[in-house]
Amino acid sequence: MFPARPEGRVPLMCVWGAFQMARLGLELCDEFEAAGRLRVMVAAWRWAVATGAVAPADGPGGRWSSAVVDAVDGEGVRAALVLRDAFAAAERLTRALGDPLPARRPVVTARMIGDLVAAGLLVRLGGEAGTPFVHGDQVAALARRRDLPALLDRHTLLGPEQAAVRLGVRRCDLAHLTRLGMLRPARWARVDFGRARGGEVDVPLYRAWDAALLPVLRPEVDWPVLRALGPGARSPLGRLSPVPAGADDVVPLPVVAVMAGVGRATVTAWRRRHPDFPVPAVGSPSAVPVFDRGAVGRWLLTHGKVAPDTPVCS
């Protein structure tokens, strides 16, 4: 249920520190030994450490002296634990998004809980890193946040099905967008679907924010038409050619204006007023400058000029 106790060589300084502590009559405990000493779950000890209910480790190697451990209220540590697995936590956050779910909003998955832990929004109390155990109260607090949808977009990865939902397109159209180089996987994950379904398969994972912002970054795609296609209909993306590998993905000022849904004069004013506006791409002529598409998109987002679900100008 919880990870095995880590093994490996102990640094010489830690050995010397342990010797000094032992010489003073102080026993050192790691988190497993501390939890065992108090007769609580390791998850409960980890939560107590995360919330400050336990004093910081006072020994070398991030370990605690027996004096610190014995001073801890074991019953309080045990009572404070409200353990939830990643699947229950994902269900709780999905309910917080609304019932029914808003358009183009995929369900939260157990693996996305691991992403939220990696982002520091939840504390991992045990289990696998990808699908960890977390604290129920912390999940509930996250579910109450009004910016929960934005947090999910910023910090989670989506599988192909969820990425298609986030874009509001069919799975085959998502494959076209990937083929064209408009949406690139952030990484790949090995997933075991069982022998009957093909065994282990490498599955692409996309940043939720990349999928959410793609209609803004790619205004040349007719998104309303693409999203209205029914099963079996031919995708207009099939006629497009992919961006050559290594080619610069740049856009001129008129396209930047379309991306932001404003006039070209407004974008020109942004360039003049904001010193952090992206600089023209290397080799770009001053008369007709072009800009890195990704850099422009990040700037527009950071300055509140666009939002993930902003309608795209036609």
Please give the model's pTM, rounded to 2 decimal places. Answer: 0.79
Supply the pLDDT for residue 271: 92
Supply the pLDDT for residue 95: 97
Asked if the model's pLDDT at residue 59 lies above 70, the reply is yes
Asked if the model's pLDDT at residue 282 lies above 80, the reply is no
Burial, 90: exposed, middle or buried (Cβ in 10 Å; 0-12, 13-18, 19+)?
Answer: buried
Average pLDDT in the chain: 86
Average pLDDT, stretch 117-142?
96
Q: Up-side HSE of residue 284: CA atoms within 13 Å toward CB? A: 18
pLDDT band (50, 70, 90) for residue 312? very low
- Residue that the structure tokens 């990425």 belong to: 163
Supply the pLDDT for residue 245: 64
Q: Could you tell me which residues are beta bridge partners of residue 164? A: none
Supply the pLDDT for residue 23: 47
Query: Per residue in 150-169, pLDDT tens?
Result: 899 989 999 999 999 999 99
In three-state secondary structure terms, 232 is: coil
Are the beta carbons of 121 and 153 closer than 8 angstroms?
no
First-to-last alpha carbon distance for the chain, in angstroms, is 52
Q: Taking CA 286 as the corner, what is the angle to CA 282 and CA 288, rounded to the nearest 5 degrees? A: 95
Residue with the bigger pLDDT between 305 and 125: it is 125
